[in-house]
């Protein structure tokens, strides 16, 4: 388990999974202030290791678990973590509460979409209804749908925890790999409105669910705004040129972006396992955009 210290108050805990390439990808943020906040505990599979890491950084108490959204890789371990931090309260968008209290549909949906990956993450443990709080002291909540209808971001002091509202972000060798995270059902206008909301906080540090932090909020947000628009346009152009065969569109978009998107083209520098992971999520992102483009044509 890797722990990254960004300040006396802020830590990122990496949550590696028993899936090839899933290192430095899933994470939890921990912030020590007047209260102790944990953002996204990750899946059940890594909760034991998360608890050990929390002990290492002195988090003997968690006041609030802040969930950016309820996808299994971000929130699946919430109920399991509460067995250890019983006094913690959970903040999540209203649309997510019932799915955490009774996660049967969420689990079935995860199995349908992710298959063996969901099984590797571990089944979702229910959260008791008494554990939820509408808000948290010292936290501003921003509703940021786009990646998911129940997605929200959190502002605490100089940090904005954006989950996947601004995509996936990795810094390595002094360069930034950044790509959209737009699974079906994706609506560009909704995602763009969330980006515009987050621009109001571009003077803060941007903390991603996948993976790490940008200290240049203005550059990061404006760059993602342009990137998302360009990706959607690439998909639309491919559909107009090639028709509605998804595999043909996918390959055409991949070739175009590898030439035109300097950030995404860093994909070439990943090792085989991480490239395989990113291939899977790239396909999922383009599928969301593809379905959006097709629905617009009807």
Please check whether residues 250 and 212 belong to one and the same domain: no
Closest CA to 146 of 216, 231, 77: 231
Please check whether residues 209 and 149 belong to one and the same domain: yes
Please check whether residues 171 and 208 belong to one and the same domain: yes
Tell me, what's the pLDDT at 298?
A: 73
- Say if residue 160's pLDDT is above 70: yes
* pLDDT tens digits along 22-76: 989 999 999 999 999 999 999 999 999 999 999 999 999 999 999 999 999 999 9
* pLDDT tens digits along 166-213: 999 998 878 999 999 999 999 999 999 999 999 999 999 999 999 999
Tell me, what's the pLDDT at 174?
A: 84
- Distance, CA of 48 to CA of 138 (rounded, Å): 28
pLDDT band at 124; cut points 50, 70, 90: very high
* pLDDT tens digits along 138-159: 999 999 999 999 999 999 999 9
Closest CA to 96 of 145, 24, 164: 145
Contacts of residue 14, Cβ cutoff 8 Å, sequence gap at least 6? 1, 2, 3, 4, 23, 24, 26, 27, 211
Instruction: Give mean pLDDT, residues 102-108.
Output: 90
What's the token pair of residue 206?
A: 């941007």
Tell me, what's the pLDDT at 192?
A: 98
Instruction: Give mean pLDDT, residues 9-29.
Output: 95
Total residues belonging to the chain: 298
Q: Please report where in the chains the tokens 């002195």 appear, as a residue.
A: 58
Among 194, 220, 246, where does a domain finish?
220
- 197 near 144, Cβ under 8 Å? yes
List the strands of the sheet with 212-214, edge to edge.
Answer: 140-143, 152-156, 159-163, 205-208, 212-214
List residues bridging with 142 in a β-sheet: 153
The domain that contains 84 carries what CATH number? 3.60.15.10
Please check whether residues 204 and 258 belong to one and the same domain: no
Please check whether residues 192 and 239 belong to one and the same domain: no
Please check whether residues 230 and 107 belong to one and the same domain: no
Tell me, what's the pLDDT at 173?
A: 79
* pLDDT tens digits along 239-254: 999 999 999 999 999 9
- For the whole model, what pTM was predicted? 0.96
Exposure string of 175-189, with b = 16+ CB inside 10 Å and e = fewer, is ebbbbbbbbeebbbe
Instruction: Give mean pLDDT, residues 214-219.
Output: 97
Please check whether residues 270 and 180 belong to one and the same domain: no
Please check whether residues 46 and 117 belong to one and the same domain: yes
Tell me, what's the pLDDT at 63?
A: 98
Please check whether residues 209 and 232 belong to one and the same domain: no
Among 220, 245, 260, where does a domain finish?
220
Name the residue range of residue 282's domain: 226-297
Please check whether residues 30 and 148 belong to one and the same domain: yes
Please check whether residues 166 and 276 belong to one and the same domain: no
Indicate the number of domains in the chain: 2
- Say how many Å lie between the first and final Cα of the chain, rounded: 48
Please check whether residues 22 and 133 belong to one and the same domain: yes
- Distance, CA of 15 to CA of 153 (rounded, Å): 20
The pLDDT mean for the chain works out to: 96
- Say if residue 1's pLDDT is above 80: no
Among 173, 205, 220, where does a domain finish?
220
* pLDDT tens digits along 269-278: 999 999 999 9
């Amino acid at each position: 388990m890797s722990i990254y210290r960004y300040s006396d108050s802020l830590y990122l805990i990496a949550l590696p999974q028993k899936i090839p390439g899933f290192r430095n990808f899933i994470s939890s943020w921990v912030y020590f202030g007047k209260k102790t906040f944990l953002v996204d505990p990750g899946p059940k599979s890594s909760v034991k290791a998360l608890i050990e890491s929390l002990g290492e950084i002195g988090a003997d108490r968690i006041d609030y678990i802040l969930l950016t959204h309820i996808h299994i890789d971000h929130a699946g371990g919430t109920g399991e973590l509460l067995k250890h931090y019983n006094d913690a309260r959970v903040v999540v968008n209203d649309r997510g509460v019932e799915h955490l209290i009774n996660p049967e549909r969420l689990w079935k949906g995860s199995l349908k979409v992710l298959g063996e990956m969901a099984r590797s993450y571990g089944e979702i443990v229910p959260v008791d209804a008494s554990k939820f709080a509408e808000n948290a002291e010292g936290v501003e909540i921003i509703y940021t749908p786009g990646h998911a209808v129940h997605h929200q971001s959190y502002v605490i002091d100089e940090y904005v925890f954006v989950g996947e509202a601004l995509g996936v972000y990795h810094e390595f060798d002094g360069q930034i790999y950044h790509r959209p995270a737009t699974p079906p059902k994706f609506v560009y206008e909704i995602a763009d409105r969330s980006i515009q909301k987050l621009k109001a906080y571009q003077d803060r540090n941007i903390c991603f669910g996948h993976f790490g932090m940008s200290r240049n909020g203005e550059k990061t947000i404006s760059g993602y705004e342009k990137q998302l628009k360009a990706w959607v346009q690439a998909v639309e152009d491919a559909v107009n040129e090639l028709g509605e065969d998804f595999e043909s569109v996918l390959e055409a978009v991949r070739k175009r972006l590898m030439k035109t998107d300097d950030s995404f083209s860093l994909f070439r520098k990943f090792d085989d396992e991480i490239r395989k992971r990113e291939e899977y999520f790239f396909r999922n992102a383009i599928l969301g955009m593809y379905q959006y483009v097709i629905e617009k044509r009807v």
